[in-house]
């Protein structure tokens, strides 16, 4: 068994904390407001088709105000990514706290992942679609959140193998990609589907199939 490396056990990351501390509550609200508006518009119109002025209008601020909180339009997308990532990591940390059984860890990870995306469709669209639109963002995406996520899965798989519960001939890294890919596909399908079913409910099904496939 190992400690899940992708979970910061200390306090919240500096960036997020640093940004909030020096600003008033009012200011923090405005930043959030803009980020929420950007998420909504990027999701519904696409990053390139959404205009900064639209984001500002949606947030109820002037166009120039956006640039008091963000450096550029790109920075909006990156900030959505980073903020969501930090929150996601925190949620995962809490979900895994005290859980040592590797299969249960996989179950929790999958559930938290789909739950979070399933709670905010706009956010899910930005993550599943917009953030992947150019290699620039894609690489940023894949080199951070994805890595942490895959490592967490991989470690749980390796633990299960060590415990003799999973077949050893499958590479844990490969298995992690398979599981992540399946979950990711569930999310993308959910976004594109017109039916409004509960995304999180599929977490267990996916893990069941995966665990069955990995079991000796």
Partner DNA sequence: TATGAATGAGCCTTCATTCAT
Partner DNA sequence: AATGAATGAAGGCTCATTCAT
Binding footprint of DNA on the chain (CB under 7 A): 23-24, 26-27, 30, 49-53, 61-68, 72-74
**Which of 190, 58, 79 is closest to 131 using CA atoms?**
79
Q: Which of 76, 123, 130, 145 binds a copy of itself (CB under 8 A)?
A: 130
Would you say 98 or 164 has its CB closer to a copy of itself?
164
Query: SS3 string of 21-85?
Result: CCCCHHHHHHHHHHHHHHHHHHHHHCCCCCCHHHHHHHHCCCHHHHHHHCCCHHHHHHHHHHHHH
Would you count residue 52 as binding a copy of itself (CB under 8 A)? no
**Which of 156, 151, 146, 165 is closest to 99 using CA atoms?**
156
Provide the minimum distance between the beta carbon of 51 and a copy of itself in the complex, in angstroms, as a whole number: 13
List the single partner that 74 binds among DNA, a copy of itself, none, CB under 5 to 8 Å by kind: DNA
Q: Which of 180, 199, 200, 203 binds a copy of itself (CB under 8 A)?
A: 180
What does the radius of gyration of the chain's CA atoms come to, in whole angstroms? 19
Q: Which of 27, 133, 144, 162 binds a copy of itself (CB under 8 A)?
A: 133
Provide the minimum distance between the beta carbon of 75 and a copy of itself in the complex, in angstroms, as a whole number: 17
* Overall size of the chain counted in residues: 216
CA atoms within 13 A on the CB side of 55: 34
Stretch that binds a copy of itself, among 19-27, 40-48, 51-59, 110-118 (CB under 8 A): 40-48
DSSP states of 1-13: ----TTS--SSS-
**Which of 89, 107, 196 is closest to 147 using CA atoms?**
89
> How far apart (Å, rounded) are the C-alpha atoms in residues 140 and 189?
23
Would you say 77 or 111 has its CB closer to DNA?
77
Site for a copy of itself in 110-129 (CB under 8 A): 125, 129
Stretch that binds a copy of itself, among 14-22, 28-36, 116-124, 199-207 (CB under 8 A): 199-207
**Which of 139, 116, 135 is closest to 186 using CA atoms?**
116
Would you count residue 27 as binding a copy of itself (CB under 8 A)? no
Q: Which residues bind a copy of itself (CB under 8 A)?
A: 44-49, 125, 129-130, 132-136, 138-139, 142, 170, 174-175, 177-178, 180-186, 188-189, 192, 202, 205-206, 209-210, 212-214
């Amino acid at each position: 068994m190992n400690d899940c490396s992708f979970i910061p056990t200390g306090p919240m990351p500096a960036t997020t904390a640093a940004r909030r501390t020096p600003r008033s509550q009012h200011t923090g609200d405005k930043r959030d407001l803009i980020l929420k508006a950007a998420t909504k518009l990027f999701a519904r119109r696409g990053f390139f088709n959404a205009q900064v002025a639209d984001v500002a209008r949606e947030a109820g601020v002037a166009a120039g105000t956006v640039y008091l909180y963000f450096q550029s339009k790109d920075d909006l997308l990156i900030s959505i990514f980073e903020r969501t990532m930090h929150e996601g990591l925190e949620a995962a940390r809490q979900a895994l706290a005290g859980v040592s059984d590797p299969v249960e860890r996989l179950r929790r990870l999958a559930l938290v992942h789909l739950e979070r995306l399933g709670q905010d469709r706009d956010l899910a669209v930005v993550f599943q679609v917009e953030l992947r639109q150019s290699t620039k963002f894609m690489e940023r995406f894949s080199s951070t959140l994805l890595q942490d996520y895959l490592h967490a899965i991989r470690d749980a798989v390796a633990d299960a193998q060590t415990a003799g519960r999973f077949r050893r001939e499958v590479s844990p890294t490969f298995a992690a990609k398979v599981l992540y890919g399946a979950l990711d596909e569930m999310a993308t399908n959910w976004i594109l589907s017109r039916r409004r079913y509960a995304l999180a409910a599929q977490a267990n099904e996916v893990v069941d199939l995966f665990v069955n496939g990995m079991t000796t």
